[in-house]
Amino acid sequence: MQHLQESGQVEYKYSFQKEVIETIVAFANTKGGKIYIGISDNRKIVGIQVSAETIQNYINQIKQSTNPSVIPDIEIIEEEGKNILEISVQEYPIKPVSYKGRFYKRRQNSNHLMTPVEIADAHIKMMNSSWDYYKDPHHTRDDISEEKVKNFMKNANIDDKIASVLNKFELVKEESITFGCYLLFTNNDKAILTTIEVGRFATETVIKDGCTIRSDILSEIKQVMDFVYKHTNKAYIITGRAQREERWDYPMDAIREIVVNMIVHRDYRSTGHTTVKIFDDRIEFFNYGKFPQELSIEQIESGNYKSMPRNLQIANIFKEAEIIEKYGSGIKRVLESFERFGLEKPIFEEIQGGVNVVVSKKKKGYVTDNVTDNVTDNVTDRLVRIVEFMKFDTTITVKSLAEKLKVTKRTILRDIEKLKYKGRIKRIGKEKSGYWKII
């Protein structure tokens, strides 16, 4: 034994007892690990007297008291001239595993009872699926709007029959709609499951204006954003040019990204509602459903993490409709937008079973005019090419730019906002009859 430090995947025990089986179950439900028997509480190697028959009895006891049955590898190893048992446990493919009806998981160097939500999530992950893919026993095809399905098909450039699309995206299973299908296309404008409470607050307790949004989750994006626009200030900047420039309190592309992330990653099994609170100096977004345990706030803020959508079916439909572009890049784009806008970065925190995001008007050092600031080489190259296309054709459309650069229109719109913020381009006139001016 090179060290005697317990960890998330290593534990030491004096003798074989029920706590050993609890740890085996916890390892099986997490990332696996090893248990060494024959080591005292003060980390002294005391050894253990065992035989082949004893080991088989341990294996039988573990097998009979776990469900699904776990059969670990047990070996006798010698350390400091004494025999100790090494029990190796792999992460189990069928989860969650229980010991006498109780479910445990490993957290740091101790075992913890799993909550009902964690148990349900483990079942879902085992099936390589998510809650929204399951059949909704409470609603039928009559509860969804074909017109809303058609709107999705139009946005996703899908030319097909409604029934084929519902089957293709597994929104219907054995003639039953899924939970995701109902949330995406419900024809009920009072759907409790999708409730979002939005409000304009004068103080923590005084509400100046409020609205309860209950609709299909695709429509809710616009409804939330309309309320945010209504209660957010827009400044007119005098530049000495013929037209005034407009600037909102916040980068609205980033605010929209936060709203989309709330809706896609919300835990719709919770009875609590999503809330958006607009104050004089900040906006708070609260959503039920914590980050995955494997994901830290630091990883989220750095953008260095693998996307793990809670609602895979909903995320897939949002991506098909080009509402989200790429899994796992949304928060990074939010942080970049606030950086370009000259504001402090948003704060992400886990509270009361969910995630709270706070954006404020607090200023940070403003960005320079250099178009290459805070962007990757690929983005820099694309921004330069956009300017060149605009120089060549001052009436070029967003659609044409997207086709030439082989990206989505949403990407081009975001790039154009970057160029506007940095003072490189300006739109003169209306969308259809105006032109681009290179500054």
Alpha carbons 366 and 80: distance in angstroms, whole number: 63
Beta carbons of 282 and 361 less than 8 angstroms apart? yes
Alpha carbons 114 and 68: distance in angstroms, whole number: 16
Alpha carbons 289 and 354: distance in angstroms, whole number: 4
* pLDDT tens per residue, range 203-225: 888 999 999 999 999 999 999 99
Q: What class has domain 377-438?
A: mainly alpha
* CA dist list (Å): 120 to 86, 115, 312, 385: 31, 9, 16, 49
Of 291 and 114, which is predicted with more confidence?
Answer: 114
The confidence score (pLDDT) of residue 6 equals: 62
* pLDDT tens per residue, range 51-86: 888 888 898 899 889 887 788 888 888 888 888 999
The confidence score (pLDDT) of residue 144 equals: 96
* pLDDT tens per residue, range 129-143: 688 988 898 899 999
The confidence score (pLDDT) of residue 376 equals: 47
Of 294 and 267, which is predicted with more confidence?
Answer: 267
* CA dist list (Å): 70 to 61, 67, 96, 215: 10, 7, 11, 45
The confidence score (pLDDT) of residue 244 equals: 60
**Residue 89 reports pLDDT greater than 80:** yes
Query: DSSP letters of 192-218?
Result: GGG-EEEEEESSSS-EEEEEEE-S-HH
The confidence score (pLDDT) of residue 369 equals: 40
Structure tokens at 305: 């993490």
The confidence score (pLDDT) of residue 252 equals: 93
CA Rg value for the chain: 28
Tokens 């139009």 — which residue? 154
**Residue 2 reports pLDDT greater than 70:** no
In this chain, the answer to whether the domains covering 10-114 and 193-360 adopt an identical fold is no
How many residues comprise the chain?
439
Residue of 24, 176, 12, 156 lying closest to 88 (CA atoms): 24
Of 422 and 114, which is predicted with more confidence?
Answer: 114
Residue of 140, 356, 321, 308 lying closest to 219 (CA atoms): 321
* pLDDT tens per residue, range 32-52: 899 999 988 778 888 888 888
The confidence score (pLDDT) of residue 375 equals: 44
Of 198 and 428, which is predicted with more confidence?
Answer: 198
The confidence score (pLDDT) of residue 329 equals: 64
Mean pLDDT, range 407-422, rounded to an integer: 85
Q: What class has domain 193-360?
A: alpha beta
Domain parsing of the chain, residue ranges:
10-114, 193-360, 377-438
Report the CATH number of the 10-114 domain: 3.30.950.30
The confidence score (pLDDT) of residue 362 equals: 85
Q: Identify the band that residue 172 occupies on the pLDDT scale cut at 50, 70 and 90.
A: very high
* pLDDT tens per residue, range 306-358: 667 788 889 889 988 878 765 556 788 898 889 888 899 899 988 888 999 99
The confidence score (pLDDT) of residue 128 equals: 58
Angle at 119 between CA 118 and CA 125, to 5 degrees: 85
The confidence score (pLDDT) of residue 368 equals: 40
The confidence score (pLDDT) of residue 359 equals: 95
